Structure 1
């Protein structure tokens, strides 16, 4: 969206100030939109983009709504992302711009365990950031995975699962701190309170699944 000035709108030689354009500049709207289409926007990682999103929320929602998307923005937690909008009754469903991802058993298990750890961390108060060492993450998973005498192979597999969760945006490597990861708070949006309340049952299912793999 661009604004073109007519000759009459140019400042005169007498030094008149140019008129102020209505609405946000196209550049600022683009600054808010483009990172959203690429993934999650975090307040701490991109403060300029975050401020543009706050200022232009209504415009952003209108723009992405045309594409069948909706903006999810959590000011308290400091993140924003786009989600496919559920069509209203009688509406045709648009082609998906946000693909669904099928997660493997270990990755979905790891997300569940990280979400529970985040809930426990929040309940204890203190630092809002949850930072875990690689070994702590492995220990969370170990009881749910088939027993193995090959520790090196287990760690290689765990690194693969951890890297997948990083790619999904739910973990972040801490720069300059080898083997340290921050659990991103956006995980709360994808694993909600209702799902979390059923977590014990789900973890029992995961253990049964692990036992079945081991016996196989």
Structure 2
């Protein structure tokens, strides 16, 4: 006899996933996700979404299925997950955070990577246009970018410490190590061109 899960068994993790990223520390949603993973995958398949789970890193999220060239019907399927186009500063900050996370893990650190707003400002400083002399305005804009990345789930503000953020491992899924160097080089070239113009 097939066990049919009630609303609470797949409903809890499904809602978390539809809202964004589900992390391991969100119990009981994480346990239900692992237990009913196959059913959740089938459920999301109906609405053209892939369930991505990284048990080792402790996160799960949904990704819109890509349409095949031969599948015209899939092209017409409405998109549930919106794609975010990031501005140059947001993209640069995201890539620099990924690079910092890689360095942190390569150094053998097992704890979580926590950075202050000041750390993030210093990371970005070398990419700022020297002609722009209003440093305070630039820092204020960067703080807004930091908060935006936190709203996307890449950074988690620490409740115990003001202006400090944990870098979430979901960043690895969005900026794979294989493309990190290429993206960083392209951003550096773009920054040079902006400074010269």
What TM-score, normalized by structure 1, do the two folds share? 0.83
CA distance in 2, matches of 1:209, 1:114: 22
SS at match of 1:72: strand
Q: Is the 8 Å Cα contact of residues 157 and 166 (structure 2) preserved in structure 1?
A: yes
Deviations 1:76-129 (A, max 9, x none): 010111100113453222111001111111001100100100111110012341
Structure 1, unpaired ranges of 5+: 1-19
- Residue of structure 2 aligned with 1:145, choices 128, 137, 140: 128
Q: Match for residue 33 of structure 1?
A: 14
The offset of 1:210, in angstroms, is: 4.1
Distance 1:206 1:114, change over 3 A: farther
**Who is 1:10 aligned against?**
none
Runs of 4+ aligned residues of structure 1 deviating over 3 Å after TM superposition are none
Say whether 1:75 aligns with 2:55. Answer: yes
User: What does the per-residue CA deviation read over 1:19-49, in whole Å, with 9 as the maximum and x for residues that have no partner?
Assistant: x9723223211112111111111112x1210
Cα RMSD (Å): 1.7
Q: Which has the higher contact order (CA 8 A, sep 6+)?
A: 2
Tell which structure's C-alpha radius of gyration is larger: 1
Q: Corresponding residue for 2:151?
A: 167
Query: How many residues are matched?
Result: 193
Unaligned 5+ segments in structure 2 are: none
Query: Contact conserved, 1:144 with 1:210, CA < 8 A, in 2?
Result: no
5 Å-filtered alignment, 1:49-198, equals 49-91=29-71, 92=73, 93=75, 94-147=77-130, 148-198=132-182
**Are residues 165 and 57 of structure 1, via their aligned partners in 2, closer, same or farther at CA, if it must alter by over 3 Å?**
same
Q: Specify the SS of the correspondent of 2:70.
A: coil
